[in-house]
Amino acid sequence: MKGRILVVDDERNLADLVAMALRYEGFEVETAGTGALALARAVELAPDLVVLDIMLPDISGLEVCRRLRSRSILTPIIFLTAKDATEDKITGLRQGADDYVTKPFSLEELLARVQVVLRRTKPAQEARLSFADLVLDEEAYEVRRSGALIDLTPTEYKLLRYLMINAGRVLTKQQILDHVWDYDFGGSDGVVQTYISYLRRKIDGLIHTVPRIGYVMRLPR
């Protein structure tokens, strides 16, 4: 996984556009439209980076940043704002932001800044996910269970990776569609059930159905 990013902006269309672009680049993305929700999500999700609008309807982005830093939450923050005066940028950086992007902006520039900030702030990690006796090696692009290689299609691999990243968390079919299939996928959520069944034939006992909600990866009870 490239990382989990929280996008905070009360302009829903803009937040969705930024989230879509980040997902297309391989990030897991959550959104929030208020400062209060941003604070709650930042604590709950522990994102690798926050893209934060300053002009929010309740608490300003500057105050959100200050409160996060006062709680010793050091998640990197990129401010996204229409305020482009030098003093505004200085204020934002002094509050603890790692970068400052002004509106209007290009998605290419924002994506580049996200990558730069993550490279600078995120420690190098081994590209390996594990759950129970299951190991997914992103560098080797292979999955093993108890040491035995499991042959997966690209879509099965991507689905399994998303389930492992969120092990223990119940995921809806729509969440899985949004993160595993292309953002412009036009099919129904029945494809999720189909691929879950494919994975279960190869990885028995770890993927569970939560009726009327979705699926979760957990140990057998």
Tens-digit pLDDT profile for residues 190-218: 899 999 999 999 999 999 999 989 999 99
Nearest-Å Rg of the Cα atoms of the chain is 19
Angle at alpha carbon of residue 86, lines to 84 and 89, rounded to 5°: 70
For residues 10 and 89, what is the distance between their CA atoms, to the nearest angstrom?
A: 20
**Structural domains of the chain sorted by starting position, each given as residue range(s) with its CATH number in brackets:** 4-121 (3.40.50.2300), 128-217 (1.10.10.10)
Q: Out of 7-11, 84-88, 127-131, 192-196, pick the least confident.
A: 84-88
In tens, the pLDDT along 7-38 reads 999 999 999 999 999 998 888 899 999 999 99
Closest CA to 54 of 65, 42, 69: 65
